[in-house]
Amino acid sequence: MNHFLDIHKTDRDELRDIIDTARAMKTARAGRPRGTPDDAQPLAGRMVALIFEKPSTRTRVSFDVGVRQMGGQTMVLSGSEMQLGHGETIADTARVLSRYVDMIMIRTFDESVLLEMAEYSDVPVINGLTDRTHPCQIMADVMTFEEHRGPIAGRKVVWSGDGNNVCASFLHAAGQFGFDLTFTGPPPLDPEPVFVEAARKAGSRVEIERDPMKAVAGADLVVTDTWVSMHDSQSTKERRHNLLRGYQVNDRLMAAAKPDALFMHCLPAHREDEATSAVMDGPQSVIFDEAENRLHAQKAIMRWCLGV
């Protein structure tokens, strides 16, 4: 049994196998209607619980569709329906769900909920997102980059903005896939030092550069994410906008990167805040390929978890 909890907790060779499987499955579906099943049905007879303490569009739809394409069935549960950690312990919830389903994907706030679920579950658990990390997204991002530009090893990735959970998983991926990462953003929003040091120990060059124009020099990929969360207060949103205004990804910033640099954003986006529409809809943007590849990457992750 394999849990998929974070990129740095999964063997490098196995991560590469997941990416290769995702690409093969995507190729096999080329030109087919979205609703048609895959030729292979590795999840036939399997039930997957999709738990959402946090609302979602891409994670919910991509996991649900992916399970169905592979012949399985899903049970979608919200945090309010389950009252995770309130009426029943996480450990007991994990033990009970393990008697009903073959795999659990959970999208939650506190990382401890994910870890406790995995510790007491008898079936594989997948991290659909926590406040600290978002590994499924970055597997899709690596896949997307390599579709357009070849191997990501040795490339320079620049993260502009908030050193959030997606940035954390990019740092994990830097160490595992062998690329370098430069963070540019305000000091109060730096990524956690433990993530920076882990990537450096794994052999990646990780730099923090406050000047975004200097940061993107030589970049093969420029990435950003939303500046605010739906749960932020109005005062928090205003403070974060003031901190991050200088780190917007716009035409001027992209022009300072390599001429063939790609732009990514995991979506949803607040256009004209963290990135301009000119960049998001421009020739260097691969944001919708990136969104589609959530489906293919997660299908490969689920197959790896179940060994099918």
User: What is the rounded CA–CA span in Å between residue 251 and residue 196?
Assistant: 28
How far is CA 24 from each of CA 18, 69, 139, 144, rounded to the nearest angstrom?
Answer: 10, 14, 15, 13
Q: Does the active-site annotation cover 134? A: yes
Catalytic position from the list 136, 167, 266, 305: 266
Asked whether the beta carbons of 136 and 59 are under 8 A apart, the reply is yes
Q: Does the active-site annotation cover 294? A: yes
Catalytic position from the list 69, 137, 248, 284: 137
Catalytic position from the list 3, 172, 294, 303: 294
> 85 φ, ψ to 5°?
75, 5
Q: What is the CA radius of gyration of the chain?
A: 19
Catalytic position from the list 3, 107, 172, 240: 107
C-alpha dihedral, 266 to 267 to 273 to 274, nearest 10°: 0
Q: Does the active-site annotation cover 95? A: no
Q: Does the active-site annotation cover 211? A: no
User: What is the rounded CA–CA span in Å between residue 242 and residue 227?
Assistant: 10
Catalytic position from the list 58, 134, 265, 303: 134
Q: Does the active-site annotation cover 266? A: yes
Asked whether the beta carbons of 160 and 186 are under 8 A apart, the reply is no
Angle formed at CA 191 by CA 212 and CA 267, multiple of 5 degrees: 75
Catalytic position from the list 225, 240, 296, 305: 225
Q: Which residues are catalytic?
A: 107, 134, 137, 225, 266, 294
